[in-house]
A and B are shown apart, each in its own frame.
Chain A
Amino acid sequence: MTWADSLRTAWAGMWSSKLRALLTMLGVIIGVAAVITLVAIGNGASQAVASRIETLGTNVLFVTPGPGTPFTTRQVAYIRDNTPVARVVVPLLNSGGQLSVGTSTLSALVVGTTPGYQALGAIHLAAGRFLAPADLALNRDAVVLGANVSQALFGGGNPVGAHVSLLGQRFTVVGVLQPVGQGPGTSQDNSVFIPLPVAQFLLSTQKLSAVLVGASSPLAASQAQDLLTNLYTNRFGSASSVTVASEDQVLATLSATRATFTNLLAGTALISLVVGGIGIMNIMLVSVTERTREIGVRRAVGAVPEDVVLQFLLEAMVLSLTGGALGVGAGLVMVRLAPVFLKTPAVFTPSAVVLAFVFSTLVGLVFGLYPAVKASRLHPIDALRHSG
C-alpha cells in the first residue's frame, strides 16, 4: 500500500464518522488554540512593557536616592555640572494626591517637575501647553492632566482653563496629554504635572524623588550612568545610597518576569495538548477493536503488518493534524477577540503556529503508535473470527 492510499484511507475513515472525529480532535483543537492565544497574550503584555519604555525613551536615566539620602533640588545643578554628556536634567517630586472638580474626586500621581520634562520626549499634548518657565518663576498653580485624569474629571470636554482642587489648592488646567496606552504600574495617563516649587511648597519639603537624566544616545546614557554611579558612590560612600538606572533596565526585570509568565502559560497549554493526545490514543484503541475484522480482511487480501501500522498511524496523524489546523483557526479568532473581551492586548506570532503544529504532529505520532502497532500484531485468524 502506498502512502497516498494510506492517507486516502485515513481521511475517508475520519470523514465517515465526523462527529466522533471532531470530539476526538477537541483536545488537540483546544490545546493548539490555547497555545496560540496564551502566547499572544503573553507577547501582548511584553509589548505593552516595551511601549512603556518608549514613553520615556531608552536614553533616560533615573537617579533615585536610597532611604535617608539627602537629595534636594541642588542635585540638579550638581548632576548637570558633573555630567557633560547629559542633554537634559529634570528633577521630579512624586506624590499621591486627590483631585476634585465639583463633586467628582480622583486620586492621581502628582508629579512636581520643570518644563525640561517635555524635552525628554515623552510628552505629547492633546490640548493646551506643558508647564512653562514662567509657571515656575511665578509659582503659578498650573497643572497639566494625564489623559485618564482628564477623561475621568471632564469626560470628553476640553478642560484647559478649568479649575481643579489639588493638595488643598486651586489649580488652573493649562494642558492635557494624549493617552500613552496600557502598561504596568501607574503610567503617565494617570499622572498630573505641576511646577516643582509649588509641589515642594505644598508638600513642605526640599527633597526630590528622582532626577531624570536624558542623554542623546544609548552610549551617552551608558557613560552618564557609569559616571554618576561612581560620583554618588564616592560622595555617600555606598553604592546603594543613590541608584542610577535607565528605565529599560528597570523594565527588563519586569519583562523577564513576563517571559516566565508566558512560558508558564504556554507550558500549561502544551499539557492540554498532551491530554488531547491521550484522547486520540483512546479513540484509536477503540477503533482498532471495532475494526478488528477489517484488519483481518486486509491481512487476508495481502496487507503486511507494516501496511496496518501505516494505516492506523496515519489515521492518528490525520486526526491530530486536522485538530491542529482547526486549533490554529480557533486560536486566530481568539487572538482577535481577546483584546475585546479580556481587555488585554494580544499579539499574534507565527512561531506559536509552528510550535503548535510541531507538537500536534508529535502528539499524533507518539499517541498513534501504540494503537497502530497493536493493530498490526493482531493475528489474522483471530481478527477474521472477531464478531462485529
Chain B
Amino acid sequence: MIRVERLVKDYPMAGGTVRALHDVSFEIPTGSLAAIMGQSGSGKTTLLNLLAGLDGPTSGRYWLNGRDVSGFGVVDWSRERNRTIGFVFQAFNLLPTLSALGNVELPLVYRRVPPRQRRERAQAVLEAMGLAHRAHHRPTELSGGQQQRVAIARALVGDPPLLLADEPTGNLDAETGDEILNLLAALNGQGRTIVIVTHSPEVAARCRMVLQMRDGRLLPTAGGVGA
C-alpha cells in the first residue's frame, strides 16, 4: 500500500536548514494496521504529512497504492487524498458551521457527487458509526467520542483504501479512546489499511506493525515489520 525509499525532509530555519527526516525507507502492506510511533520532535508528524501529500519531500521516492506519486503536484495530491486517503485528526477538525451530516459529506462534495446521492451515502456511514440520530447536530453539540466518530465517518465516506489517523485518541479519555481504537481495528478487519501516528505505547501495542521514529530516523527495533 505504502512504500517509501530514502525519504528526506529539510526545513529551512533561521541560520540553516533542519533535517526532519533522514533517509527513511519502509513498506506498509495493504491491509495493515500500522503505528508510526515516536516522541514529539521525532519526525512522525512530518512523515505523516509526506504520506498524505500535504507536504513534499526534499528527496526520496514514494509509491502509494502501487503508483509512483513522487512527482505529484498540488492538484494531483488533492485528487489523491480525496479518493485514496481518509483523514482522522487528533482535534477532530470538524467544521463548526456544518452539521455532522454536512461534515461527513465534505469529501463527496469535492468529488462532485450529486447532493442526493452524497447525502444518502453520508447518512449510511453515520448510521454504521451508530450516529444516525445525531446527523443534524452541530459538532459542538456532540461529545468528544461522537465527534471523533463523525470524523471517522468523514474519512470513510469516500471509501478510501487507506486511513491516516494522527493521534486519534489524543483528545479523548481512556475509555472513549479505547472505543475509537476498537472501531479502527474493526475497520482494519474489513480490509482497510490503517496507519496511526501516536506517541502512546498503549496505542502502538494495539497495532500489528510498529514503525518507531527517533530524531528523524526509523529505528529497526520494537516489533519492526511484523504482521
Q: Which residues of A contact B (CB under 8 A)?
A: 1-2, 5, 12-13, 16, 293-294, 296-305, 307, 379-381, 384
Contact = CB atoms under 8 A, between A and B. Distances in A.
B110 A13 contact: no
Contacts of B54: 299-300, 380-381, 384
Given A13-B97, A300-B54, A304-B78, 17 more contacts: A1-B109, A297-B106, A300-B87, A301-B81, A301-B82, A301-B87, A301-B107, A302-B82, A302-B158, A303-B78, A304-B79, A305-B74, A305-B75, A381-B55, A384-B54, A384-B89, A384-B93
Contacts of A294: 95
B67 interface: no
Interface in B37-67: 49, 52, 54-55
25 contacts: A2-B112, A5-B115, A12-B97, A12-B98, A293-B93, A296-B93, A297-B94, A298-B106, A299-B54, A299-B78, A300-B54, A301-B81, A301-B82, A301-B107, A301-B110, A301-B154, A302-B79, A302-B107, A304-B79, A304-B110, A305-B74, A305-B75, A305-B78, A307-B110, A384-B89
A168 to B, nearest CB: 83
Nearest to B114: A2
A319 to B, nearest CB: 16
A384 B111 CA distance: 21
A300 B95 CA distance: 13
Contacts of A304: 74-75, 78-79, 110
Contacts of A381: 49, 54-55
Interface in B76-110: 78-79, 81-83, 87, 89, 93-95, 97-98, 106-107, 109-110
Interface of B: 49, 52, 54-55, 74-75, 78-79, 81-83, 87, 89, 93-95, 97-98, 106-107, 109-112, 115, 154, 158
A5 B118 CA distance: 12
B111 A302 contact: yes
A304 B77 CA distance: 9
A165 to B, nearest CB: 79
B60 to A, nearest CB: 18
Contacts of A293: 93
Nearest to A301: B107
A9 to B, nearest CB: 8
B55 A300 contact: no
The residue among A12, A296, A303, A379 with the most chain B CB atoms within 10 A of its own CB is A303
Nearest to A383: B54
A1 B79 CA distance: 12
Contacts of B112: 1-2
Which 3 A-B pairs have CB atoms at the shortest separation, nearest pair first? A302-B82, A302-B110, A304-B78
A16 B98 CA distance: 10
The residue among A16, A297, A305 with the most chain B CB atoms within 10 A of its own CB is A297
Contacts of B78: 299, 302-305
A110 B109 CA distance: 80
B51 to A, nearest CB: 12
A134 B27 CA distance: 121
A314 to B, nearest CB: 14
B74 A16 contact: no
A299 B82 CA distance: 9
B98 to A, nearest CB: 8
A297 B89 CA distance: 10
